[in-house]
Amino acid sequence: MKSRYKRAAFIVTGLVAIAIAATLVLNAFRSNLVFFFTPTQVFKGEAPKNISFRIGGLVEQGSLKRSADTLENQFVVTDTIKRINVVYTGILPDLFREGKGVVAQGKLNQDGVFHADNVLAKHDENYMPPEAAEALKQANTLNEKTGKTLVIPEAKP
Amino acid sequence: MIPEIGHFSLILALVLAIAQSTFSFKGASSNQPVFMSAGLSAARGQFFFVSIAFISLGYAFYSSDFSVLYVASNSNFNLPIQYKLAAIWGGHEGSMLLWTATLSLWTMAVTIFSQHLPAQFRARLIGTMGLITVGFLIFILFSSNPFERLIPAALEGRSLNPLLQDPGMVFHPPVLYMGYVGFSVAFAFAIAALLGGELNPEWARWTRTWTTIAWIFLTVGIAFGSKWAYYELGWGGWWFWDAVENASFMPWLVGTALIHSLAVTEKRDAFKMWTVLLAIFAFSLSLLGTFLVRSGVLTSVHAFASDPTRGLFILAFLAIVIGGALILFAIRAPKVGLGGKFGVVSRESFLLANNVVMVVACGVVMLGTLYPLFLDALGMGKISVGPPYFNTVFVPVMAPAFFLMGLAIFSRWKNTELPSLISRLKWAFIISVVTAIVTPAVMGQWKPMVSLGLLMAFWIITTAMVSLYDYMVAGSGNLILRVIRLPRAYQGMILAHLGVAVFIVGVTLVGGYGLEQDLRMSPGEKVKVDQFTFQFDGVTQTAGPNYMAVRGHFTVSKSQGAPIILEPEKRSYQEDSMPMTEAAIETGLMKDLYVSLGEPLNSEAWAVRIYIKPFVQWIWFGCFMMAGGGILALFDPRYRRKNKKALG
């Protein structure tokens, strides 16, 4: 009888511990998910307001402006349909280039400027970040629907 | 000609691998020595031909044979020789060949060092390894042939990604693969035991040696990779919770659990089914890692652009191996039996708890790694799970494991009296708590997380010391002799556990007191970080064997002592315009000074990263101590005596 109680206590303690752990894990998981939106989606207002998310696309040619005395950078991320102004203070990754794919993580403020706290590089020149490629692909299908023609650089995800 | 020899060797190796598993299983089931020894010879032949294939590819790289597509896409004439050879595993096809070659090497080792095993068991072991080899050889031959010709030949190759042109590239992949693939031996032991329906402490002892060796390689491989990322990626981080890093970390966690569980199976004949399950999972996770890294589902420095059929093949192979193994487990496990009983407070239950924590931790990592992939595959949008998730969840999950580490050393097998445990460890506990509270205050700023981290580290250290003291009192002779005379396995355990403590100290302090500054600096400008003054003296142009570089000059001075010169570089490789950041690091026991060049801003100013990383080297030193502990344990006479007897 006694050993049976012991075993039951053991199992109950185990289950409670697992339940607590699972709750904590799932909670942390939910609050740390970062969603991805294309510039078009952001423009339509689908992106959240005060939560950090990711955008992807191409850095528009000629859009990069550097501040004269700080590390602030401004550039435009586009999926060839919509453009989003991005502000980032810090050092841009080695492979950041105008006309190339980019992914930025940050928050959108009231006037529609995206304040990035992280700009992600790709590791290889032949490589397009999948998020950026996705944004271009979606824009491409949209273009086809509206009958516009636009040359999209080939993406290799 | 040479590439064709390599290609044909792979085909022959495939035929031999099929023979290896067919003959071995046939021999084992009918108990016919002729078949069993035929399987053994086939295994050795398979190793021979895979080696020839590997050497052929190496020669193609050495001689810059750009009529081979794989060589042309990963190497060129200007590449220094060591990177030409390392480029063998610089792309998808070659890494798969390295995988297979490593598997063959392990198979060969098993055929040599398994003479003491019962003949049927040995045959099943070699047969299982043959099956895995067959899977990988088919994969290489049908979807990733590194010997494919490029006609007409390229005049010049495309070269290796500059990020990979680093000594790390020479060591990190082979060592990591030795670990990854090494778990296939533990897996084969588990399958052989299930097939034979017998699992005894003997089995655990054989498996333990092989598992420990694989685990040592994996530990060192991961540490290498982490250190490489630290100095190469130019961000000064040592772990990014990148999906590919996680892919190597998951087998490590389960492998660590397996080592501990094997100890229980060997000593107490308990946890049998659990041990078998862990062995299956450790290798399955290695395969999963291969799938994640090589199928192109992830963006990372490790993922090569590749076609989806490859991913599909690995996924199917994964399903067959894991599914097959688990079905076999379900059918045969009842025959193997549960094993011995134990009390609630005993070494067994502490180790069981440790195992559960390790597996849960692995599950946590897996959730964060795979969930975004599932969503993406189901077309439910793209998300990412960042380091904050892993950091907030992983630490609280692991904390109990570190606490248990201290207790487990003291508890006895079968049953331990709780009061005696408490009375023996109360001083260790008090000392840990006091030191953990005081140390952060001494370091300048008291932070709760630092205190918690140090508490875990000191707890592991003090309990290890108390245990060591208990052992030493019993010995005779001077102090050093007494330490040397301790059982090797025990020394190994203490060293590995101290390694964990050293690792925790490094992680905690670099996280708590690391300073990071991204600045804009013009020549002549000075900046004070902590007690150091960094002066930027401008940049000069230099040239390397296959790159041009801008070299920055920094003078770092402290209030006393000679100034330190740091010269980070920004390299551009001639073949492509891809720039590379080469950080300059002044390594120290107590802190690293880390400077890297960002980008040139207008006029002569540069964006500069200046980091101070206290105790960061302890992270890798701790890992090497863990590996060292594993090596010491291998030298325990318990394992050698057995082998000698078998040979003699």
What does B355-371 look like in DSSP terms, one character per residue?
A: HHHHHHHHHHHHHHHHH
- When divided into structural domains, chain A yields a total of 2
Shortest distance, CA A32 to any CA of chain B (angstroms): 5
Cβ pair B520:A70 closer than 8 A: yes
Residue A157 lies in a domain: no
Task: Answer whether residue A139 shows pLDDT above 90.
Answer: no
Distance, CA of B143 to CA of A120 (rounded, Å): 31
- CB distance B64 to B73 below 8 Å: no
Residue A81 lies in a domain: yes
* Structure confidence at residue B410 (pLDDT): 78
Percent of chain B with pLDDT over 70: 94
Cβ pair A54:B607 closer than 8 A: no
Task: Answer whether residue B235 shows pLDDT above 90.
Answer: no
- CB distance B609 to B594 below 8 Å: yes
What are B243-277's pLDDT values in tens digits? 888 999 999 999 999 999 998 888 888 888 889 99
Phi, psi of B516 (to 5 degrees): -130, 125
- CB distance B177 to B187 below 8 Å: no
Task: Answer whether residue B229 shows pLDDT above 70.
Answer: yes
Of the pLDDT bands very low, low, confident and very high (cuts 50, 70, 90), residue A156 is very low
For residue A56, give every residue at least 6 positions away whose Cβ sits within 8 Å of its Cβ, in sequence order, or none: A36, A38, A77, A79, A101, A102, A103, A104, A129, A131, A132, A133, A134, A135
What b-and-e string marks burial along B353-376, b requiring 16 or more CB atoms within 10 Å of the CB? bbbbbbbbbbbbbbbbbbbbeeeb
Half-sphere exposure of A36 (CA within 13 A, CB side): 24
3-state secondary structure (DSSP) of residue B633: helix
Nearest to B373 by CA among B250, B255, B247: B247
Tell me the pTM.
0.91
Cβ pair A25:B386 closer than 8 A: no
* Poorest-pLDDT segment among A118-122, B121-125, B313-317, B563-567: A118-122
Task: Answer whether residue B223 shows pLDDT above 90.
Answer: yes
Q: How far is CA B468 from the centre of its chain?
A: 29
Distance, CA of B56 to CA of B202 (rounded, Å): 41
Helix (H) or strand (E) holding B499: helix B488-513
* Structure confidence at residue B67 (pLDDT): 92
Cβ pair A69:B383 closer than 8 A: no
Based on the fold, state whether residues A13 and A46 are members of the same structural domain: no
* Structure confidence at residue B577 (pLDDT): 64
Domain that holds residue A43: 36-146
3-state secondary structure (DSSP) of residue B552: strand
Task: Answer whether residue B191 shows pLDDT above 90.
Answer: yes
Domain containing residue A69: CATH number: 2.40.50.140
* Poorest-pLDDT segment among A88-102, A103-117, B137-151: A88-102
* Structure confidence at residue B575 (pLDDT): 59
* Structure confidence at residue B648 (pLDDT): 28
H helical segments located in B233-346? 243-268, 272-294, 308-336
Q: Which chain A residues have a beta carbon less than 8 Å from that of B396?
A: 24
- Chains A and B form CB pairs within 8 A to the count of 88
Based on the fold, state whether residues A11 and A53 are members of the same structural domain: no
* Structure confidence at residue B395 (pLDDT): 85
Based on the fold, state whether residues A109 and A59 are members of the same structural domain: yes
Based on the fold, state whether residues A43 and A61 are members of the same structural domain: yes
* Structure confidence at residue A143 (pLDDT): 58
Angle at which helices B92-112 and B33-62 pack, to 10 degrees? Answer: 140
* Poorest-pLDDT segment among B39-53, B469-483, B536-550, B551-565: B469-483
Q: Which chain A residues have a beta carbon less than 8 Å from that of B384?
A: 33-34, 36, 54
Based on the fold, state whether residues A51 and A27 are members of the same structural domain: no
Based on the fold, state whether residues A80 and A12 are members of the same structural domain: no
Distance, CA of B385 to CA of B382 (rounded, Å): 10
User: Count of CB atoms within 10 A of residue A89's CB?
Assistant: 13
Based on the fold, state whether residues A18 and A50 are members of the same structural domain: no
Of the pLDDT bands very low, low, confident and very high (cuts 50, 70, 90), residue B308 is low
* Poorest-pLDDT segment among B176-185, B208-217, B580-589: B580-589
Task: Answer whether residue B88 shows pLDDT above 60.
Answer: yes
Domain edges within chain B: 1-165, 170-401, 402-512+618-626, 515-617
Shortest distance, CA B360 to any CA of chain A (angstroms): 9
Half-sphere exposure of B441 (CA within 13 A, CB side): 5
* Poorest-pLDDT segment among B115-119, B250-254, B617-621: B115-119
Nearest to B420 by CA among B465, B466, B460: B466
Q: Which chain B residues have a beta carbon less than 8 Å from that of A156?
A: 305
Angle B634-B637-B643 (CA atoms, 0-180°, nearest 5)?
A: 85
Angle at which helices B637-647 and B201-232 pack, to 10 degrees? Answer: 120
* Poorest-pLDDT segment among B166-170, B231-235, B280-284, B529-533: B231-235
Q: Is the ipTM of this complex over 0.90?
A: no
Of the pLDDT bands very low, low, confident and very high (cuts 50, 70, 90), residue A7 is confident
Based on the fold, state whether residues A7 and A72 are members of the same structural domain: no
CB-count burial class (<10 Å; 0-12, 13-18, 19+) for B400: middle
* Structure confidence at residue B647 (pLDDT): 36
Percent of chain B with pLDDT over 90: 50
Q: Which amino acid is at B100?
A: T
**Chain B interface disruption, residue of A2, A20, A23, A25, most B CBs within 10 A:** A25
What are B335-390's pLDDT values in tens digits? 776 666 677 778 888 888 888 889 989 999 998 888 888 887 777 777 888 788 88
Distance, CA of B510 to CA of B457 (rounded, Å): 14
Based on the fold, state whether residues A117 and A86 are members of the same structural domain: yes
Based on the fold, state whether residues A135 and A79 are members of the same structural domain: yes
Return the higher-pLDDT residue of B101 and B353: B101
What are A25-60's pLDDT values in tens digits? 888 888 888 888 888 888 888 888 888 888 888 888
* Structure confidence at residue A129 (pLDDT): 63
- CB distance B606 to B600 below 8 Å: yes
The total number of residues shown for chain B amounts to 648
Q: Which chain B residues have a beta carbon less than 8 Å from that of A130?
A: 299, 382
Residue A26 lies in a domain: yes
Phi, psi of B241 (to 5 degrees): 55, 35
Mean pLDDT over each residue of chain B, to the nearest integer? 87
Distance, CA of B280 to CA of B266 (rounded, Å): 18
The β-bridge relationship of strands B383-385 and A72-78 is unpaired
Based on the fold, state whether residues A26 and A65 are members of the same structural domain: no
Shortest distance, CA A140 to any CA of chain B (angstroms): 17
Task: Answer whether residue A153 shows pLDDT above 50.
Answer: no
Task: Answer whether residue B645 shows pLDDT above 60.
Answer: no
Distance, CA of B235 to CA of A92 (rounded, Å): 11
Return the higher-pLDDT residue of B293 and B568: B568
Task: Answer whether residue A150 shows pLDDT above 60.
Answer: no
Average pLDDT estimate for A64-84: 87
Residue A156 lies in a domain: no
Nearest to B188 by CA among B136, B104, B138, B127: B127
- Residue B517, beta-bridge partner list: B610
Q: Which chain B residues have a beta carbon less than 8 Å from that of A69?
A: 520
Based on the fold, state whether residues A25 and A40 are members of the same structural domain: no
* Structure confidence at residue B32 (pLDDT): 92
Return the higher-pLDDT residue of B629 and B314: B629
**Chain A interface disruption, residue of B599, B602, B603, B606, most A CBs within 10 A:** B599
Task: Answer whether residue B202 shows pLDDT above 90.
Answer: no
Q: What is the dihedral of CA B235, B236, B241, B247, to 10 degrees?
A: 100
Return the higher-pLDDT residue of B646 and B150: B150
For residue B114, give every residue at least 6 positions away whose Cβ sits within 8 Å of its Cβ, in sequence order, or none: B122, B125, B126
Q: Which chain B residues have a beta carbon less than 8 Å from that of A24?
A: 393, 396
Structure tokens at A90: 């810090």
Of the pLDDT bands very low, low, confident and very high (cuts 50, 70, 90), residue B143 is confident
The β-bridge relationship of strands B515-521 and B383-385 is unpaired
